[in-house]
Structure formats: structure tokens, C-alpha cells
Amino acid sequence: MAERVVLHVGLMKSGTSYLQQRLTANRDLLAAGGVLFPGQVWRDQVLAVSDVLGRKQAGPATAGRWRGLVDEVAEHDGTAVVSMEFLGPARPERIAEVVGSFGETPVEVVLTLRDLGRGVPAMWQEALQNGGTLTWHGYVDLLHGKRKPAQAFWRQQGMARIVGNWVAAVGPDRVTIVTVPPPGAPAGVLWDRFCAAARIPGEGCVDVRPANTSLDAASAVLLRSLNEALAGDEVSAGDYHTLVKFGLAKRVLAGRTDAPAIGFEPPEWLRDRSAEIVVRLGASGARVVGDLADLVPTSVAGVDPDGLPAEAIAAAAVAALRGSVVLRAGERRQPTVTSETV
């Protein structure tokens, strides 16, 4: 039986992709120190969590995956780490099922949290990468209400509620909050904080490039326009996921360093709500690695996406076409595996 299980449950857009890639890159080194990162690849954890949460959109490939992960953990003698941000906002009954599936093995929970000044632009981009069509100002203005997109945003970013649900499930002594360091801090600071929270040896682990890089303002506007244009076409969710979200947004447009970022000055209501969240987090009893002051909304330098000139959008479109051609050409150069070459 495992000594303990550490569930890293997000939140979304809080450096989770970076941490997951670094855990994957150092799987063997961590294993030598008694730490199991289950599955052959990280996607095995995605499928397992989709299984236990009943995420139908993941398809039949998830069937039995959670039980397989639990069995792998049970056969390990040391610490096991599972990292999947889908777990964060799970309903209390699902959380109880997840925790209970490990039997008498102690379950500890780590939540990485990032200030909402950076969180709002990141979540707008996430909405666009899932087919959204709201303008930047349309999105921000609606977050203060109770309808879409506010429902989806606060479901994923309602830090105090989410932490409270996990504290209720495992107790405050087994929940640790990790705050994402302020802008400009080395990526390694987040890794160090995560390892301290999870109580795993992070020294000597190789670093990885920052993951899941952002869309610049022009690329975000371009993607929104594409989503509007696709609205009347019969593009399945699976095709959109493959061709647009990953094929275009994440693999081609994300990380354009020569284009301005999405600028954001957090409104007063968001600052007030963040202050309330910090108070509730402090009262939750959960341990904090970092500083809750890191969750004060920060201003994000950049431009207003809704005010960009047509030339900036056109440049993003050319970059998208160029990147897509280069990517496709690279794929065509890959040797074709046939029965005669194996």
C-alpha cells in the first residue's frame, strides 16, 4: 500500500501544465526517490480523472482508467502524485468518491492558486480556445454577474469555495495552498513551492520550458473571429479540439513574442472580491506555501484587444497561415511507417 497520495487538483491556469511537464520529465529521478507519478504518460492521468468524474466528452477510452490508476498507486510503497486540474472544482460527492477510492491510504491535497489579475485574461483565452465568441470587454463585463461566462469562470476560479470543499473532505491539516509567485519570478520558484507543499524531493530535477504559453492580443481576436465564422459550419467538437484548439491556437499562435499581450487593469469589484477570497483562504486552516498576498490582482501590461487596428489582426492571420504551413510541411517530411520499414 502507498504511504500517501498527493492530489494536485489545480486550479486551472495556475502553472499546472508547467508542473505536469516537469513531473513527467523527472519521472525516473522522482521514482528513485520513492515518488510515483502514475501512468506511462501524463495523458493516462487525464483519462483516469475523466473516468472518475464521469466526463462523457472524453469518450469510451476512459472506462476503467481510474481503477487502473488506483491499483498502480496501491502497489507502490512510497508517495504517489496525481496532477489534474479537472479535480479542483469537482462537486463534493465526486471529491468524496475520489478520496474514498484510495481506501486507508492518507490523501493530501495541493492547490496552486494565481491572482485573478492574470487569471481573467488567461480564462478568456481558454474560453476562445473552446469555441467562445465574446469580445474581450464583453467577457470582462459579464464576470461580475451570475450568467455565462461568469458561471464557468467562477466554477473554475472560485478559490475559497474550492479550497473549502477539499478541506471538508480531507481536513485542513492535509490541504496545502501554493500561491503562484508574482510576474517576473523564475519558473523554478513555483516548482520549489510545489515540491515543498507535496513534500517530495525536487532538487536536481531538470527544468522544462514554460508550458501552455499565452495568446497575444491579436491572435486572441483572430481566434474569436474564426470561431464566429465556424459557427454555421458542421465542425464536430472533436475536430475543433484537434484542428483549432491544439492544431492552431496552442501549436501555432501561442507564444508569439513579437506581438503585444492582452492588457488588463483589474476593476475595483475584482480587487474587492479577491480581498474577500484571501480572507476566506486564511480562515480555511489550510497550510500556505508562498504568500496569500500573491493573490492580490496584478495589473497586466499590454493592449486592449478590442481596440487593435486591422493591420495587427492581419499580421496574426499571416502568422497563423505561415505557422500552419510550416507545421504541415514538417509532418509530411516524417517517414511513413509501413510493413516494409519495420
Report yes or no on 100 lying in a domain.
Answer: yes
Collapse the DSSP code of 335 into the 3-class scheme (helix H, G, I; strand E, B; otherwise coil) and give the result: coil
Collapse the DSSP code of 213 into the 3-class scheme (helix H, G, I; strand E, B; otherwise coil) and give the result: coil
Report yes or no on 232 lying in a domain.
Answer: no
Q: How far is CA 128 from CA 27, 122, 139, 230, 275, in A?
A: 33, 10, 10, 12, 28
Structure confidence at residue 210 (pLDDT): 74
C-alpha cell at 321: 497561415
Report yes or no on 133 lying in a domain.
Answer: no
From the CB of residue 247, how many other CB atoms can be counted at a distance below 10 Å? 16
C-alpha cell at 183: 510576474
Report yes or no on 67 lying in a domain.
Answer: yes
* Strand partners for 35: 79
Structure confidence at residue 211 (pLDDT): 67
Structure confidence at residue 342 (pLDDT): 36
Report yes or no on 221 lying in a domain.
Answer: no
pLDDT in tens, 237-282: 989 999 999 999 999 999 888 899 999 999 999 999 999 999 999 9
Is 86 within 8 Å of 49 (Cβ atoms)? yes
Parallel, antiparallel or unpaired: strands 4-8 and 287-289: unpaired
Domain at 173, CATH number: 3.40.50
Structure confidence at residue 209 (pLDDT): 83
Report yes or no on 132 lying in a domain.
Answer: no
Residue 82, class by beta-carbon neighbours within 10 Å (0-12 exposed, 13-18 middle, 19+ buried)?
buried
Cα–Cα distance for residue pair 72/178, rounded to 1 Å: 27
Residue-wise DSSP of 111-153: EEE--HHHHHHHHHHHHHTTT----HHHHHHHTTSSSTTHHHH
Report yes or no on 165 lying in a domain.
Answer: yes
Is 321 within 8 Å of 332 (Cβ atoms)? no
From the CB of residue 280, how many other CB atoms can be counted at a distance below 10 Å? 14
The domain tally of the chain equals: 1
The stretches in the chain having pLDDT less than 50 are 337-342
Cα–Cα distance for residue pair 94/312, rounded to 1 Å: 45
Structure confidence at residue 58 (pLDDT): 67
Cα–Cα distance for residue pair 298/72, rounded to 1 Å: 41
Amino acid at 313: I
Amino acid at 336: T
Looking at the whole model, is its pTM more than 0.75?
Answer: yes
From the CB of residue 272, how many other CB atoms can be counted at a distance below 10 Å? 11
Report yes or no on 239 lying in a domain.
Answer: no
Is 124 within 8 Å of 23 (Cβ atoms)? no
Amino acid at 75: E
Cα–Cα distance for residue pair 125/216, rounded to 1 Å: 9
Which structural domain, as residue segments, surrounds residue 78? 4-115+157-212+266-299
Residue 257 phi/psi, 5° resolution?
Answer: -85, -10
Structure confidence at residue 153 (pLDDT): 97
Parallel, antiparallel or unpaired: strands 287-289 and 79-83: unpaired
Is 286 within 8 Å of 167 (Cβ atoms)? yes
Stretch (H or E) spanning 16:
helix 16-25
Handedness of CA 13, 151, 303, 295 (dihedral sign): negative
C-alpha cell at 104: 486507508
Is 112 within 8 Å of 11 (Cβ atoms)? yes
From the CB of residue 21, how many other CB atoms can be counted at a distance below 10 Å? 17
* Strand partners for 109: 7, 175
